[in-house]
Amino acid sequence: MDGSTGDHAPAWCIEAACRARVATMPEQSTNDGHTTSNTTTELARHTSDLAEFELSERRAVFLLTRTELKLLGIAGVGFFLDAYDLFVINPVATMLQYRLYGGKHLPPNLEGFMKAGANIGSVIGQFAFGYAADALGRKAVYGKELMLIILATILTLTTPTGSLSPEHSLIYLAIFRILLGVGVGGDYPMSASITSDRSNLRKRGTMLAYIFSNQGWGSFMGSLITIIVLAAYKHVMEDKGEVSKVDGAWRIVVAVSLVPAFGTLYQRLTLPESTRFKASQKLINARSAAEEGDAIAEIKKAQAGDDIKFGRQTPGNSNEKLESTPSKSDEDTAPPEEVATKKAHFADFVKYFSEWRHAKLLIGTCTCWFLLDIAFYGINLNQNVVLQQIGYDGTTGTPWNRLFKISTGNMIITALGFVPGYYASILTIEKLGRKWIQIQGFLMAALFLGILAGKFHTLSKPAFIVNFAFLQFFFNFGANTTTYCYPAEVFPTRYRATAHGLSAAAGKAGAIISALAFNTLSKDIGTPAVLWIFFGCCIAGAGFTLLLPEVKARDPDLILAEEIRAERDARARQQQEEAK
């Protein structure tokens, strides 16, 4: 090892080095007087090399086992709700125009605040839940973010549009959407860590992409549910002329999100702690080379145990013995929550990322996500501009016809680019790699943004739709998927949730800037100029991706183990030299 983070060394090399180190470790005495033999390390040698075992599998990575499908259902619902709740605000805002302002536009500042509310809360939730997941353990925290989403959704439905002034109604709604955003934001680091902790290296990226693809389905279902509800209200709004009844329509649209939330709440609250997370707590606290060897073996055991659970190994091999082998260090007998919540945790995080080799990874994930979300949410939270260009902005016709046309246009946009892009990532992420997909996604998105910006007023409707569909496709077959995957794969389990939360919060900060500034900038400098700003963000995002390594088949826990070993060897040599 040269002290790097593994940018140039594949994960199996690091793992082999760790395994060789552990296997040659002699019997030693620990600081508390206990004798540690190399029984555990001997057993570790009989554990199948993780990367080699996974790469030898013949099953296609996108074919999931029953247990993986269950995990997909539990973790994926968060991203379904994320997109549903974030993007459904577009048709809801249009409905509120007719309920509160007689069909006139909402005040720009209040509209921006209402649309940005969930993203403002997300920044808080992503950091808070990310840190809590590392400090308290996944099990202690998982499910609480979903409870918050349920509570905030119910409170949103209580908006008293009949008794408050229009302005105060929008403020009331926006405040509880901030609370909703805290729960939605908390789901990012929680579901990413839960999934990454339980996935083997060969399918980790695919599982994360599957989880994130639910964002596309959430957006699609938001438009579909809106269309269905509006169809049910057609008689009341069209024939009877009771346009104010739209107040019930938007509440039903929002309330539908409670169904999947309640459906998975119990599974989240009862999901056990992952064995990999438990094992990772011991590595950072190992006080000797022997304990370090035990911790590395525990990480291997953890992965082997999850492989059995996920149907990737049969229990009738040597790994079964490993699961029943007691550990010898004090940390092994301590509750994982006790180890994880030690006072120095935040100091450990700061110390780890104070080194440039680690800091550049966090800078890369945060900056790429920030730049991506400026463009992505700038486009998708203001789809009225796009709908106007393709003739689905609902500027003509009765109120019902306008609302129905807008919802139809939103579904067309989602179906054309959102969903196909996610599944292109799922099918190729383990072959092409995260880095390649992210760079080409940024560059291709920049290309189509440039076309839209340069020809904004001259493109025909079919040409505009095609260009916009390709833009959405390469957002999702690109950085919108990989910026979520990267923090869950590049950082060790010990710091994964916190680092993922910080990265996601940086992204949502970009979304907030875009949501608040888009309308104002569009009026001041024109929409094409704003699209050129998005173009620049995508080019810069491709550049910052160069800070990141390829994480395919990369195990950050074993890389961390080797770094700790190298640092201790260096200190030991220094002490020997000083003693001379």
Domain ranges for the chain:
66-273+355-556
CB 509 within 8 A of CB 326: no
Residues of the chain with pLDDT under 50: 1-56, 286-290, 305-344
pLDDT of 311 reads 42
Judged by DSSP in three states, 325 sits in: coil
Beta bridge partners of 29: 35
The pTM of this model reads: 0.76
Radius of gyration of the chain (CA): 26
Residue with tokens 């998105």: 445
Q: What does the pLDDT look like over 456-515, one tens digit per residue?
A: 888 888 888 888 889 989 999 999 999 999 999 999 888 898 999 999 999 989 988 887
pLDDT of 310 reads 44
pLDDT of 307 reads 47
Residue with tokens 């160069």: 546
Burial 61-79 (b: 16+ CB within 10 A, else e): bbebeeebeebbebbbbbb
CATH of domain 66-273+355-556: 1.20.1250.20
pLDDT of 299 reads 56
* Residue 573 CB burial class (10 angstroms; 0-12, 13-18, ≥19): exposed
Closest Cα to residue 37, out of 292, 286, 328?
328
pLDDT of 170 reads 92
Q: What does the pLDDT look like over 132-149, one tens digit per residue?
A: 888 888 888 999 999 999
Residue with tokens 């349920």: 150
Three-state SS annotation for 434-497: HHHHHHHHHHHHHHHHHHHHHCCCCCCHHHHHHHHHHHHHHHHCCHHHHHHHHHHHHCCHHHHH
Q: What is the DSSP string of 408-436?
A: HHHHHHIIIIIHHHHHHHHHHHHHH-HHH
CB 544 within 8 A of CB 371: yes
Burial 529-564 (b: 16+ CB within 10 A, else e): ebbbbbbebbbbbbebbebbbbbbbbbbbbbbbbbb
Kindly state the DSSP code that residue 34 receives in the 8-state scheme. -
Contacts 24+ apart (CB under 8 A), 392-396: 394/94
